[in-house]
Structure 1
Amino acid sequence: MESSGEGGAAGHGGTGGPAAAARRLVAVTLDEASIARTTRDIDHERAIAIYDLVEENTFAPVGDTEDGPYKLTLAIRERRLVLDITRPDGRPVATHLLSLSPFRGVLKDYFLICESYYQAIRSASPSQIEAIDMGRRGIHNEGSQLLMERLEGKIEIDFDTARRLFTLICALHWKG
């Protein structure tokens, strides 16, 4: 799995004042009824992805008149990602269903290249590892861009937040 770790100010909202601080997630949880706990390694990857997402993000449901901050609960139902958005006190804001079908190919490619990357670390030259890692980042960016497109008109996110959220989606589908 890939942590976003690319640039930007760490913290809550970066530079942008109170409005930017309100347009963010302060908590992300997984619906235990639809997203089962798995191995310790996969649970760890999910926890890291959630931490990275909450630590730095830009997130605002389109049309919300009160602004944030927001809490997000993710669930998977009928091959759809359910994004249940609430206020920190639990008041509902919006629920969006996102078909995961458009992500199948990107996820498959991403996991294949991650497997190649982990194998290469053991025996390949540094230049081969770097080439595979560049491919891995490229596929990750493709998935992030697809996520932004699928959320357009529903949730405003920046590219770095899309990368972190795509990392979490990958962690939800990782078989270990």
Structure 2
Amino acid sequence: MSADTPNAPENACLVDVVLDETTIGRANADIEHERAVAIFDLIEQNSFWPVGHVIEGDAKPHYKLTLSVVEQRLVFAIRDLDDNDISTHILSLTPFRRIVKDYYQICESYYEAIRSATPSQIESIDMARRGLHNEGSETLQDRLAGKIVIDFDTARRLFTLICVLHWRG
């Protein structure tokens, strides 16, 4: 987070994440399961605040997020608990293409290595996998800077969800 980005209110977080079926669509059972796990993990623990959103009265800084994909852009539609629109942010998916592609290739190598490689080879591949995941998470934080304040762990969980949205099975 940059020095000129305000800190998020305490307890600011996502309490609901929905994938827009119109633009993202349904997938096979395995992919739907992975999406559900990614959403569960994200909701379970996150820090999320739309920059500039002022909390009034006794309202909690809790948000609902709907993700959609429109013209190769990821749309973050944020609402409060009463379903009032807070903000919408649109991110190009182009900066994530190489990272997601490389991430899937290294994941395939990792799963193959588990079956036949030595522990040190598996560890090396896993370190590369985690490095790519971190790179994707940092890219996401950078792209959301000044729009949405998220911590690194939340960025990791959101990046996981972005990867699952690209997974074709």
Asked if 1:122 corresponds to 2:115, the answer is yes
Q: Distance in 2 between matches of 1:74 and 1:62?
A: 18
Give the alignment's TM-score, normalised by structure 1: 0.87
**Which of residues 132, 138, 148 in structure 2 aligns to 1:145?**
138
SS in 1 for 2:88: strand
Superposition deviation, residue 88 in structure 1:
1.5
RMSD between aligned residues: 0.9
**Correspondence list, 1:87-106, <5 A:** 87-106=80-99
Distance 1:20 1:40 in 2: 37
Residues 35-54 of structure 1: pairs in structure 2 closer than 5 A? 35-54=24-43
Are residues 1:155 and 2:148 paired? Answer: yes
State the number of aligned residues.
Answer: 157
Quick check: 1:20 aligned with 2:10?
A: yes
Partner of 1:9: none
1:60 counterpart SS class: strand
| Aligned-residue offset at 1:68 | 1.8
TM-score, normalised to structure 2's length? 0.91
CA distance in 2, matches of 1:131, 1:48: 26
2:70 is aligned, of 69, 77, 83, to: 77
Deviates more, 1:102-111 or 1:65-74: 65-74
List per-residue Cα deviations over 1:104-139 (Å, max 9, x = no partner): 110111010001011111111111111101100000
List runs of 5+ in structure 1 lacking aligned partners.
1-18
Identity fraction in percent: 62
